[in-house]
Structure 1
Amino acid sequence: MATASAFIDIPASADQVWQLIGGFNSLPDWLPFVVKSEPGEGGRLRTLRTEDGTVIVERLEKFDNASKTYSYSITKAPFPVTDYLATLRVEAHGDASRVTWSGRFTPLSVSDEEAQELFAGIYQGGLMALRANYAG
Structure 2
Amino acid sequence: MATASAVIDIPASSDQVWQLIGGFNSLPDWLPMVTRSELSEGGRLRTLRTDDGTVIVERLEAFDNAAKTYSYSLAQSPFPVKDYLATLSVEALGDGSRVRWSGLFTPVGVSEVEAQELFNGVYQVGLTALRANFPG
TM-score, length-normalised on structure 1? 0.99
Q: Structure 2 unaligned runs (5+)?
A: none
Q: Deviations over 1:107-131 (max 9, x none)?
A: 0010000000000000000000000
Partner of 2:16: 16
Paired residue total: 136
Structural mapping, 1:28-107, within 5 Å: 28-107=28-107
Extract structure 1 runs of 4+ deviating beyond 6 A.
none
Question: Residues 125-136 of structure 1 correspond to what in structure 2 (within 5 A)?
Answer: 125-136=125-136
Q: What letter is aligned with 1:88? A: L
Q: Give the Cα separation in 2 of the matches to 1:26 and 1:4.
A: 22
Partner Cα distance (1:20, 1:38) in 2: 17
Q: Tell me the distance in 2 between the aligned counterparts of 1:135 and 1:114.
A: 33
Residue 134 (structure 2) pairs with residue 124 (structure 1): no
Displacement of 1:43 in angstroms is: 0.3
- Calculate the TM-score normalised by the size of structure 2: 0.99
Partners of 1:10 and 1:126 in 2: CA distance: 13
Task: Percent identity, please.
Answer: 78
Q: CA RMSD in A?
A: 0.5
Q: Distance in 2 between matches of 1:123 and 1:94?
A: 23
Corresponding residue SS for 2:63? strand
